[in-house]
Amino acid sequence: MGLRLFNTLSRSVEDFIPLDPEGRKVGMYCCGPTVHDFAHIGNFRTFVFSDLTRRYLEFRGYAVTHVMNVTDVEDKIIQRVKTRQMSLKAYTSQYEEAFFADLAALGCVKPHQTPRATEFIPDIIQLIQALIEKGIAYKAQDGSVYFSIEKYRGAGFRYGQLLNLNFEEMRPGERVASDEYAKESVADFALWKSRVADDGDVFWPSPWGEGRPGWHIECSAMSMRLLGPSFDLHLGGEDLVFPHHEDEIAQSEGAGLQCAGCRFVRHWLHGAHLLVEGKKMSKSLGNYFTLRDLLAKGFNGREIRFLLLSAHYRESFNFTIEGLQGARSALARIDDCLVRLKELAASTTPEAGEHPLMSAVDKALSEDLNVSQAWGAIFDWVRDCNRSMSTHSLTPSQAASSVAAWGRVDAILGLGIGGGVAEVSNELETLLAERQAARKAKDFKRSDAIRDELKSRGWVIEDTPSGSRLKKL
């Protein structure tokens, strides 16, 4: 069973075939955070999707090199550095540290390399020089360097690989200094921005004078330096398709660093937009959430991750508080099932062979990471396990096999094994023991009072073959 992924380049689902002749090594780049503020939940949908992709590739036996950049110099950052009267490093480091703490809270594996743009200025300058030598980039009167769409196309390259551009209806030939520009404009974009007074101390020397890099050139320089001029996978949100990723292709392939017939990136994967409470996120609408906002509301990273993984990455998804409450309930179902399976399995050896749960999840994810189908298989498994345990038709070795299978599934989903009772405090355990003693003494008034107190704290008592235990509501 091969792995198939939707490739934005071809607009179709394709077999995933690594560039590595042995088919084992995979280079994967994901556009990371711009550390001008705390990342919001829409950003984290992309990063959780990227984490799932890496985990599944590793499950399939690939040796993945995962690179995710940190954009620590761009227009918004410079504006805020000036407003806050801080150094560039002091300003960005606080949000970079917060981002990686948030990433860990969501159960994401840290990328193997997390390069900062400011650490790759020499590589950026070298790449710009190569584009100038190719006649595709030019220095403007103000000392900035721009990429020429016209010269690029004139050299036989196609601008518009990731999306179809109608050059007759668009506005070619304009020059745009901003990192972001209107989608109806096919514009010469800045590779190097000449220093201006508002930049303050944020500048570097270059052959064209003092200045700083444009946003698009940063990712090209970092990805090719760390993964080579051609690599396997480039991930990001669909909002980056144009102009950012299209410009990355133009810069990287225009410099002519790839071998004959080779592309900058073989497979492009893009995650769909995230809506919040049915609308585009906006602070004015009150539906703009950082991870920290949601944690403050009482949800945990595991619940948030579950919700972010509940829909296929190419489907627009409505993120709601009600959905988070549903995620809590769904995880509780899995955890409860695992507790019962572990109690039944005890120290029994699992049965030999591939478990049906693992086979079903693998089959679903092998077809363009169809996580929706995978969740269907998981909750069918939960239902069947609970029925079998209720009718005492599940053997200890079968229970042990199910626990082991969930461990392998969870290595892909990254939700945490679950099924533990470690969060039950000593005080709650004491109350449970008192309730059992009251029942034994036929003091049902006291027994009911303890039951009600436990319920008010969010716990119910569940009787199992091995005795009573507490279960989180």
pLDDT score recorded for residue 56: 98
User: If you average pLDDT over residues 108-124, what whole number do you get?
Assistant: 97
pLDDT value of position 366: 98
Q: Mean pLDDT across the stretch 74-85?
A: 94
pLDDT of residue 356: 96
pLDDT at 181 over 90: no
As a whole number of angstroms, the distance between CA 259 and CA 108 comes to 34
The mean pLDDT value of the chain amounts to 92
Q: Which residue has the higher pLDDT, 148 or 171?
A: 148
Q: Are residues 91 and 233 in the same domain?
A: yes
| Alpha-carbon radius of gyration of the chain | 27
Do 88 and 169 fall into the same domain? Answer: yes
User: Of 387, 413, 439, which closes a domain?
Assistant: 413
- Give the pLDDT band (50/70/90) at residue 235: very high
Does 288 reside within a domain? no
Which residue in 468, 463, 456, 385 sits closest to 429, CA to CA? 468
Residue 115 belongs to some domain of the structure: yes
Co-location of 260 and 356 in the same domain? no
Residues 157-186 have a mean pLDDT of 77
Q: Is residue 279 part of a domain?
A: no
Residue among 222, 190, 198, 196 nearest 210 (CA): 196
* Whether residues 406 and 439 fall in one domain: no
Which of 60, 23, 91 shows the shortest CA–CA distance to 369?
60
pLDDT of 183 over the 60 cut: no
CATH number for the domain that contains residue 174: 3.40.50.620
Domain containing 156 equals 4-271
Domain total of the chain: 3
Would the pLDDT of 171 be above 60? yes
Q: Which of 32, 202, 39 is nearest to 115 (CA)?
A: 32
Q: Is the pLDDT of residue 310 over 60?
A: yes
Residues 101 and 150 in one domain: yes
Q: 462-468: long-range contacts (C-beta < 8 A, 24 or more apart)?
A: 464/340, 464/343, 465/343, 465/344, 466/343, 468/432, 468/435, 468/436
Q: For the segment 346-393, what is each residue's pLDDT rounded down to a tens digit?
A: 888 888 889 999 999 999 999 999 999 999 999 999 999 999 999 999
- Residue 469, pLDDT > 80, answer no
Phi-psi region of 87 (alpha: psi -120 to 50; beta: other; left: phi over 0): beta
Residue 32 located in a structural domain: yes
The answer to whether position 277 is within a domain reads no
Query: What confidence category does residue 421 fall into, taking pLDDT thresholds of 50, 70 and 90?
Result: very low
Whether 406 and 450 share a structural domain = no
Q: Is residue 231 part of a domain?
A: yes
Shared domain check, 266 and 208: yes
Instruction: Report d(CA 374, CA 79) in Å as an integer.
Output: 44
* Residue 196, pLDDT score: 94
Residue 53 has pLDDT above 70, yes or no: yes
> Are residues 219 and 265 part of one domain?
yes
Same domain, 341 and 381: yes
pLDDT on residue 119: 98
Query: 10 and 128: one domain?
Result: yes
| Burial (CB count within 10 angstroms: exposed 0-12, middle 13-18, buried 19+), residue 285 | exposed
